[in-house]
Structure 1
Amino acid sequence: MPQPIQPDCLPLLIGSMPLDDHVAASRLIMEHTPAIPVWAQLPVFPEEGMVPQFLPGMPAVAEKNGKTYIDTACETFDADLLAFFEDYMAAVASPERLPGSRFALNEATGKGVAALVDTLAGLKTPPVAVKGQVTGPITFGTGVKDQDGRSIFYNETLRDVAVKLLALNARWQIQTLARPGCPVIVFIDEPALAGFGSSELISISKEEILACLKEVAEAIHADGGLAGIHVCANTDWSLVLDSGVDIVNFDAYAYFDRFILYGSQIRDFLSAGGFLAWGIVPTLKPEEIERETVESLFAGMQARLQQVEALGIDRRDILRQSFITPSCGVGSLSLGLAKRVLALTKELSSKIREGL
C-alpha cells in the first residue's frame, strides 16, 4: 500500500531542467520545491532523453548509423530475451538485487538520481515526499523501434519486456529515494497518450494501454510508492483516471476545458482518495510564461476550482487533494524562463495554501 500523504497544494515539478550540471539542478529544485524534491532529468545529455535513459536494460540493443534499436534478427536475440526474463524473475523474488541490475539507471543515465540522493543525505529533516519519474510504457514502447523501424509496442513479447523493465526501474527508484523515510512518488510520463485515438495510435486499444499502465502502477504500489501519471496535452482522460494511479497530472492551463468534460470520472477519482496535480503554470509558449503573474494564475485557478466544485466536491477536499505543478517539464526552455516557471509554481502554491 502507498504511504499516506496529504498534498495541500504543495508545489511539485515534472523533472526536466535546462542545465548541464546535476548538482546545480538539484540545488535549483531545492530552492523552489524543498517539501517534495525531484531528481533532475537533463535532456542536454543525449543519454537522458526520455527513451535513451531507460533503454540500456532492454535485450538486443544495437546501434547503426547513429540510430539505436532492438535487433530481433540478431543471432543472440533469443538468448538475450531469456536472460532478461531470468533477471526479471530473480529481481521480483529478491528486490534487494535491483541496485546494479539492468533495471536500475546506471552511472551515465542516473546522475540526477545520485545528485538527489546526495542532497537528501545532507538534510536535517526529511521532506514531505520525494519524487522520481519513469518514461511511460506507451511512450517508450512506441518510441523504441526494431531493426525494421517498427515500434516494439506492436510486438507483444517486446512490449511485455518494456513494461517489466520500466516497472522494476520504478521499484528501484523507490528503494533508492526512500532512504530519508518519507513517501516516494513516481510519475509515469506519458506524452504519447496525447495521440490516443489518432492515426498514430489507431491500432492500440484502450485495454492494451490500461494493462500496461496498471502493471507499472502496481509495481510502484508494491514498494509502497505513490504512482502518478503525467500527460502534457489532451487525451482520453477516462483512460488516465481509470489507470490505477494515485495522482493525475494534467495541463490545467491549456486543456482544463477538455479535462472537465470527464466530470463523473473526476468525481469518482477524488472520492476514492485520488489526487490531482494541476499543471496550471504554463511552459509551452514563452509569451505566456512572461505574461502570467501569480495573481493572474491564482484567478484562473479559482475559476477552475469552481467548475470542479460544481461536480459536488467540497472545495476544501479538492485543495487537500491537489498539487500545483508546471504544465510540463522546463528542459526545453531558456534558463531564465525555466526559473520563472519554478518561481511562479512556488509562489502560486504559497498563495493558495494561505487559504487552507
Structure 2
Amino acid sequence: MSQDNPSSRFQANGLATLIGSLPVADAGEAFSLIFAHTPDIPLWPQLPSNPKEGMLSQFSEGMPGIVEEGERTYFDIQTETFADEMLAYFEQYLAALEDPSLLPDSPFAVSPDRAQGLFALKEAVAGKTVAAVKGQMTGPFTLLTGLHDREGRAAYYEPTIREMVVKGLSLKAAWQVQVLAASQAPVILFIDEPALAGLGSSAFLSVSLDELGQELNEIIGAAQGAGGLVGIHVCANTDWEFLLATSLDIVSFDAYGFFDKLAACKDALYAFLERGGIIAWGIVPTSEKEYIERETAESLLARWEAQAAQLVGGAWDYKSLLQQTLITPSCGTGSLSLTHAKKVLALTRDLSKLLRDKYL
C-alpha cells in the first residue's frame, strides 16, 4: 500500500471501534451514540430494524437471479431472462474492474435505502478529526450459505451463483472503500462472516479451504486495491490458522468467549502480527445480558491483561501488542436493548482509555 494512501498511515494503538449494528431506527441517533463512545474510529451504523439492511438483502442487491419476496430472499436461475442478465452483469463487472470510476452507477453500488448510515457518514464526520472510518459488508461464505433456491439448496453449491456473488462482492467492497474514502481518513472495511463458525462441521465437510481462501482473497484484494484496510469478523470459533494465512489486515473475533481458540494458533498469530496485522480484540461481551451487566472497564482490563499475558514473549510485550490492537465489542449490538447496547459502548470506550493510558 503506497505511503500517500491514508490507510497506510493508520495506527491501531488500542483505539475503540464498533461492530456494525445498533438497536436504533434512525441514523442520526446512531451517530450520536457512535461519536459519544468511539469518536476516533466511527463506523456507519447498520440498522436491523430496516428489513432491507439484513445480511442477505443488503449486499445481494443488483445481482441476477436473486429474488426478494417479502422478508424472504432466495435465488432462481431457471427464469428465461437469467442467462442474458448474467451476461450483462459480467460485462458490467469487467468494465468497472477496468475503470473504477464506473462503480457509483453500477450494480455494485448499494442504494441508500439499504444502507442509510453509509451515505450519512461523510456528513457526520465533516469537521471532525478521526483516526479512520469503518464500514462493513456481508462476506461471501455467509451470503452463499445463507442464500438458497426454492428447494433449499445453498447457493454455495451452485457454481454460477457462487462466481457471481464473489465477483459482485469484490466490487461492492471496492465501491464501499471509495465512498468511505471521501472522508479523507484511512478506511477500514470489515467482512462479516458468522457462517465461518461452521467450518469443519458436518454441514460443510465438502468445503475446500483452498477455494474459500482464494474467494476471500479476491474480495480482500479488491478492497485493498481501492485503498482500504480489510478485516474479517467472526463472532464465534473458526479455523483461525486458515484466516490468519489469508491477505487480511485485521482479524476481528470474540475474545470474551473464544480467546483460547485464537491463542492456540500462536505461531500463525505471531506471523500475522509480524507482517503488520491487527487484532480487533472483541473483549466486551454482547451475547449474554448478565455478562454485560456484571462487567466493568476495570474487570475487562484485567481480562485483557490475562489474555495478553498468553501472547507476551520475544518481540511482543503489552505495549507492542496494544499498538496492533483495536478494542471492540464481541459482536454487533443490534439485537440488544438500548440500555444494554449503551453499556457495551461505554465499556468499549472506557476500556480503550484505560489500556491506552496504562501502556501507550
Query: TM-score band, normalised by the shorter chain?
Result: over 0.9
For the residue of structure 1 that corresponds to 2:305, the secondary structure is helix
Alignment pair present for 1:133 and 2:131: no
For the residue of structure 1 that corresponds to 2:190, the secondary structure is strand
- The 1-side partners of 2:351 and 2:274 are apart by 25
Q: Report the Cα offset of residue 110 of structure 1.
A: 2.0
Alignment pair present for 1:10 and 2:51: no
Alignment pair present for 1:272 and 2:275: yes
- TM-score, with structure 2 as normaliser: 0.95
Alignment pair present for 1:257 and 2:281: no
Matches within 5 A, 1:60-79: 60-64=65-69, 67-79=72-84
Give 2:160's aligned residue: 157
For the residue of structure 2 that corresponds to 1:230, the secondary structure is strand
- The 2-side partners of 1:254 and 1:65 are apart by 35
- TM-score, with structure 1 as normaliser: 0.96
2:240 to 237, 242, 262: 237
- The 2-side partners of 1:64 and 1:223 are apart by 34
C-alpha RMSD of the superposition: 1.3
Give 2:95's aligned residue: 90
1:57 to 62, 69, 85: 62
CA contact (8 A) 2:232 2:250 kept: yes
For the residue of structure 2 that corresponds to 1:134, the secondary structure is strand
CA contact (8 A) 1:166 1:216 kept: yes
Alignment pair present for 1:335 and 2:338: yes
Q: Report the Cα offset of residue 4 of structure 1.
A: 2.6
Give 1:348's aligned residue: 351
Partner AA of 1:67 in structure 2: R
1:142-171 Cα distance to aligned partner (Å, 9 max, x none): 111123321111122211111111111111
CA contact (8 A) 1:279 1:326 kept: yes
Give 2:191's aligned residue: 188
Partner AA of 2:45 in structure 1: A
Alignment pair present for 1:110 and 2:115: yes
Q: Report the Cα offset of residue 67 of structure 1.
A: 2.8
Give 2:151's aligned residue: 148
CA contact (8 A) 1:26 1:115 kept: no
Give 2:201's aligned residue: 198
- The 1-side partners of 2:217 and 2:314 are apart by 26
Partner AA of 1:263 in structure 2: K
Alignment pair present for 1:47 and 2:36: no
- The 2-side partners of 1:94 and 1:316 are apart by 42
- The 1-side partners of 2:272 and 2:314 are apart by 12
Greater shift in the superposed pair: 38-47 or 173-182:
173-182
Greater shift in the superposed pair: 174-183 or 72-81:
174-183
Partner AA of 1:35 in structure 2: D
Partner AA of 1:289 in structure 2: I
For the residue of structure 2 that corresponds to 1:350, the secondary structure is helix
Alignment pair present for 1:173 and 2:176: yes
- The 2-side partners of 1:169 and 1:234 are apart by 27
Give 2:309's aligned residue: 306
For the residue of structure 2 that corresponds to 1:186, the secondary structure is strand
Give 1:290's aligned residue: 293
For the residue of structure 2 that corresponds to 1:158, the secondary structure is helix
Q: Identity of paired residues, percent?
A: 49
CA contact (8 A) 2:56 2:73 kept: no
For the residue of structure 1 that corresponds to 2:105, the secondary structure is coil
Q: Report the Cα offset of residue 108 of structure 1.
A: 1.2
1:242-273 Cα distance to aligned partner (Å, 9 max, x none): 12110001111111111110010011101111
- The 2-side partners of 1:72 and 1:268 are apart by 43
CA contact (8 A) 1:234 1:258 kept: yes
Taking a change above 3 Å as real, the CA distance of residues 188 and 64 of structure 1, as seen in their structure-2 partners, is: closer
Greater shift in the superposed pair: 84-93 or 144-153:
144-153
Greater shift in the superposed pair: 154-163 or 287-296:
154-163
For the residue of structure 1 that corresponds to 2:114, the secondary structure is coil
Greater shift in the superposed pair: 194-203 or 337-346:
194-203
CA contact (8 A) 2:122 2:183 kept: no
Q: Report the Cα offset of residue 66 of structure 1.
A: 5.3
- The 1-side partners of 2:67 and 2:319 are apart by 52
Q: Report the Cα offset of residue 316 of structure 1.
A: 2.0
1:36 to 31, 37, 41: 41
CA contact (8 A) 1:134 1:189 kept: yes
Q: Report the Cα offset of residue 65 of structure 1.
A: 7.3
Q: Report the Cα offset of residue 64 of structure 1.
A: 4.9
